[in-house]
Amino acid sequence: MLKNKVALVTGAASGIGRATALAFAREGARVLVSDLTLEGGAQTVALIEAAGGQALFEAADVAQPEHARRLVERAVAAFGRLDVACNNAGIAGLSAPTADYPLDAWAQVISINLSGVFYGMKYQIPALLQAGGGAIVNIASILGSVAFAHAPAYTAAKHGVVGLTQAAALDYSAAGLRINCVGPAFIHTPMISRFEADARVREHLIAQHPIGRLGQPEEVAELVLWLASSRASFVTGAYYPIDGGYLAR
| Residues labelled catalytic | 154
> Quick one: which of 225, 129, 219 has its CA closest to 180?
225
158 backbone dihedrals φ, ψ, rounded to 5°: -75, -35
Q: SS3 of 227, please?
A: helix
Give the DSSP letter string of 81-101. ---EEEE----------GGG-
Give the contacts of 182 (CB within 8 A, at least 6 positions apart).
137, 138, 139, 140, 220, 223, 224, 227, 239, 240, 241, 242
212 backbone dihedrals φ, ψ, rounded to 5°: 90, 15
d(CA 61, CA 65): 9
* H or E element at residue 112: none
